[in-house]
């Protein structure tokens, strides 16, 4: 895969899908900025792992829900390396409850983390990338943002918002040479799905045409494609990575 730019910021890259995205993008020759929120030692060990494999990485700490911290994180990258060509808005949370029991705070915390933070990331990327009239942004959304799910009124609203917001950013970004796309993973084996009860997991798997959960690396390869020059005529697209569960 070909990349014309140099630096990529991956939010929530300390574990799960984000860590895999960081590793794969480093293997394609990008300098990866690993964003973490809570565990510096895990972010540092990912940086070491990437460097041992011949890649280049740096660590940048911020909480995506803190707008000032997010903006300062991007500023630090520009001050260090002079450019940011790629952004992956990956960090996200769940806070599942049936709607009848969901407090407004439970709803808003997920909207803030998944939707508002992605908005801030996209807007700041648009500002920075506009200067070079080049850039590519991938938002990690979810299958649940397309089809809904019980217990996830908050999560589905946030990810549905990410999908349509990505299309709007794509229209605004195109005049400046900046592409915006999203991917909607189905069930992927990470900490986020680890807590599912075995019988619920088996029930989900029976409905997935490929008969298994996906691996983080399978999402990461799709992200790399959408970021890279290989997808240079694709913008505003929502790419499904879900084993055929929703087509
Ligand atoms: P995960 O294993 O729970 O990891 C989430 C990552 O996001 C962690 O690195 C976490 O950092 C970080 N994060 C959360 N809130 C943050 C904040 N406020 N600031 C900075 N970082 C923050 O989740 P995952 O499964 O890899 O999910 C990654 C993305 O894929 C999410 O957007 C999720 O919605 C989406 N997705 C996942 C699945 C799935 O089946 N796993 C399916 C569809 C979509 P800490 O270590 O500090 O908590």
pLDDT mean for each 10 residues of the chain (247 residues): 96 97 98 97 98 98 98 98 98 97 98 98 98 98 97 98 98 98 97 88 95 98 98 98 97
- DSSP states of 98-129 as a string? -GGG--HHHHHHHIIIIIIHHHHHHHHHHHHH
Candidates 28, 36, 86, 155; catalytic one: 155
The class (CATH top level) of 7-240 is alpha beta
Q: What is the Cα–Cα distance from 218 to 148, expressed in whole angstroms?
A: 22
**Which of 36, 192, 214 best tests ligand 1's pocket when mutated (most atoms within 8 Å of CB)?**
192
Catalytic-residue membership of 155: yes
Backbone angles phi, psi at 52, to 5 degrees: -65, -30
Q: Where are the domains of the chain?
A: 7-240
pLDDT of residue 215: 98
- Helix, strand, coil in percent for the chain, rounding step 5: 50, 15, 35
Helices (H) and strands (E) in the chain, counts: 10, 7
Task: Provide the angle, in degrees to the nearest 10, between the axes of the packed helices 117-130 and 67-81.
Answer: 30
């Amino acid at each position: 895969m070909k990349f014309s730019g140099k630096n990529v910021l991956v939010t929530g890259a300390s574990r799960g899908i984000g860590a895999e995205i960081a590793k794969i993008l480093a293997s394609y020759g990008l300098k990866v900025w690993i964003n973490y929120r809570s565990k510096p030692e895990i972010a540092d060990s990912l940086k070491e792992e990437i460097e041992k494999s011949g890649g280049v990485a740096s660590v940048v700490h911020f909480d995506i829900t803190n707008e000032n911290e997010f903006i300062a994180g991007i500023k630090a990258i520009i001050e260090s390396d002079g450019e940011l060509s790629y952004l992956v808005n990956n960090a996200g949370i769940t806070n599942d409850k049936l709607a009848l029991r969901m407090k407004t705070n439970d709803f808003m915390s997920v909207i803030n983390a998944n939707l508002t933070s992605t908005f801030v990331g996209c807007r700041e990327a648009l500002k920075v990338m506009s200067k070079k009239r080049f850039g590519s942004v991938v938002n990690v959304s979810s299958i649940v943002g397309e089809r809904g799910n019980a217990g996830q009124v908050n999560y589905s609203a946030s990810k549905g918002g990410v999908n349509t917001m990505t299309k709007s950013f794509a229209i605004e970004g195109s005049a400046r040479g900046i592409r915006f796309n999203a991917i909607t993973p189905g069930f992927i084996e990470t900490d986020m799905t680890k807590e599912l009860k075995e019988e619920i997991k088996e029930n989900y798997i029976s409905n997935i045409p490929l008969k298994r959960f996906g691996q983080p690396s399978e999402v990461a390869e799709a992200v790399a494609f959408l970021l890279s020059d290989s997808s240079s005529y694709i913008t505003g697209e929502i790419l499904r990575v879900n084993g055929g569960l929703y087509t």
